Amino acid sequence: MKLVVKTLTLTIGLLLATGLQAKDQLPPTLPTQQDARLQQMATSAHVWNGVTVTKEGRIFASFTQSEGPGLELGEVGENGKITPYPDADWNQWKPSDPEHHFLHVNALRVGPDGYLWAVDSGNTGIGTGAKSVDGGAKLVKIDLSTNKVVKTYLIKPPVLKPASYIDDVRFNGHFAYMTDPGAVGLVVLDLNTGKAHRVLDNEPLSIDHTPIYADGKKLILPNGKEKRVGLDQLEVSPDGKWLYYQAIPGPLARIETRYLDDASLPASEVNKHAKKFLDTWSTGGTAIDSEGNIYASDINTRSIKRITPEGKVSTVVSDPRLVWIDAMWVSDGALWMPSGQINRTPATTGGKPSTVEYPVKIYKLPLPIKPSPIDHQ
């Protein structure tokens, strides 16, 4: 017994001395059994990080910057053919005309108005030293009936910071909320006036306090530093009262939207209303249904978890194929999940060669759920 205790003491001492935590030493047990409910809906030779689906069944996806020029936003057609959307010209970056060309589409969704909305981050990376491009950061509105851009909202300085990376968007009435993990804050855009302001800048619950883990491994940038991503995921409750948000590693926080919408409120007043809602996990993407249940991927265990409005957590699906599920989508009766394998790309493995297994896939899981009407169709 003394030998066991002594060995345990030495082990704990070694962990403390090296600054390692137990979770660094004990990777999660990954699922091995495939879930028969999962339906493969699309494949791609390019890594994607988001999916949106119209009522008519048209599928659109956003693609990562690592895929090179020419494909930022695409429509997935028959036989898996992916067509740059709304056209090839928009998908070719032109510094001389940033308002009419995509630099890096990081998110997309069919809004409550039936239009397709795309977020151009205006930057090529987070924490890599890259700077935001003036005129590059924008929210683009596309008419799906004509396949034409009908309006572009530019995010300009001082709302756009040098380190800004406009990441994702959710809607609430005439407001659009966009996360900015590059400068760590939230951009609130009034769609009626085109004016924007910032909130939750470096608010404690916006900041990434812990490393990101996927498949039991810590994410590392090509420069050797830990990959850290602040305020990233966001969802609006179906009644429009709450905005839920979190940095990739959690926790999940929430704040009443009325404090975000009022541009006259000082930061100190807004920040004091932000409260931690739930201790969560490294999350690649989220979605919310009409009942206010949040679906959050756990990229460390290849699973999707459901968080009820009361904060109760349950596992919806766990499957070995769910490698880094990113921005998900709720349609009538199903949850759509893009498996992007981001944790296998050089951007998160310290610059090591890609181990992405192509083609990447989008899965659909039939569930008795409906989309939240406030944010999308």
| CATH at residue 283 | 2.120.10.30
Residue 372 included in any domain? no
Residue 121 included in any domain? yes
Residue 5 included in any domain? no
pLDDT score of 9 more than 50 = no
Tokens 């206010």, residue? 292
pLDDT score of 104 more than 90 = yes
Residue 164 included in any domain? yes
Structure tokens at 295: 């679906």
3-state helix, strand, coil in the chain (%, to 5): 10, 35, 55
Q: How far apart are CA 177 and CA 234, in angstroms?
A: 8
Per the structure, the complete domain to which residue 198 belongs is given by 38-366
Segment 250-267 shows an average pLDDT of 97
Residue 114 included in any domain? yes
Residue 371 included in any domain? no
Contact 178, 189 (CB under 8 A): yes
Contact 63, 71 (CB under 8 A): yes
Segment 342-353 shows an average pLDDT of 90
From its phi and psi, is residue 293 left (phi > 0), alpha (psi between -120 and 50) or beta? beta
Of 373, 288, 364, nearest to 51 by C-alpha is 364
DSSP run (H or E) holding 330: strand 329-331
pLDDT score of 356 more than 90 = yes
Contact 321, 361 (CB under 8 A): yes
pLDDT confidence of 329, banded at 50, 70, 90?
very high
Q: Angle CA(45)–CA(50)–CA(56) in degrees, nearest 5?
A: 95
Instruction: Determine what percent of the chain is predicted with pLDDT higher than 70.
Output: 91
Structure tokens at 30: 């990954």
Residue with more model confidence, 261 or 2: 261
Contact 248, 234 (CB under 8 A): no
Q: How far apart are CA 309 and CA 242, in angstroms?
A: 10
Sheet holding 313-318, edge to edge: 286-288, 294-298, 303-307, 313-318
Q: What pLDDT is attached to residue 276?
A: 98
- Segment among 64-78, 104-118, 230-244, 342-356 with least mean pLDDT: 64-78
pLDDT score of 325 more than 80 = yes
Whether the CA torsion 222, 134, 283, 344 is positive or negative: it is negative
Segment 182-209 shows an average pLDDT of 96
Q: Which of 22-31, 292-301, 340-349 has the highest mean predicted lDDT (pLDDT)?
A: 292-301
Q: How far apart are CA 85 and CA 146, in angstroms?
A: 12
Q: How far apart are CA 39 and CA 336, in angstroms?
A: 9
Q: How far apart are CA 169 and CA 176, in angstroms?
A: 6
From its phi and psi, is residue 50 left (phi > 0), alpha (psi between -120 and 50) or beta? beta
Burial of 125 (0-12, 13-18, 19+ CB in 10 A): middle
Q: How far apart are CA 94 and CA 114, in angstroms?
A: 28
Q: How far apart are CA 167 and CA 231, in angstroms?
A: 9
Q: How far apart are CA 103 and CA 80, in angstroms?
A: 24
pLDDT score of 14 more than 90 = no
Residue 377 included in any domain? no
User: Which letter, b or e, does each residue of 275-309 get, where b requires 16 or more Cβ atoms within 10 Å of its Cβ?
Assistant: eebbebbbbbbbbbbeebbbbbbbbbbbbbbbbeb
Biggest alpha carbon–alpha carbon distance for the chain: 77
Of 109, 225, 98, 228, nearest to 163 by C-alpha is 228
Contact 271, 200 (CB under 8 A): yes
Residue length, the chain? 377
pLDDT confidence of 69, banded at 50, 70, 90?
low
What's the chain's Rg over C-alpha atoms? 20
Structure tokens at 267: 């930061």
Residue 373 included in any domain? no
From its phi and psi, is residue 170 left (phi > 0), alpha (psi between -120 and 50) or beta? beta
Q: Domain tally for the chain?
A: 1
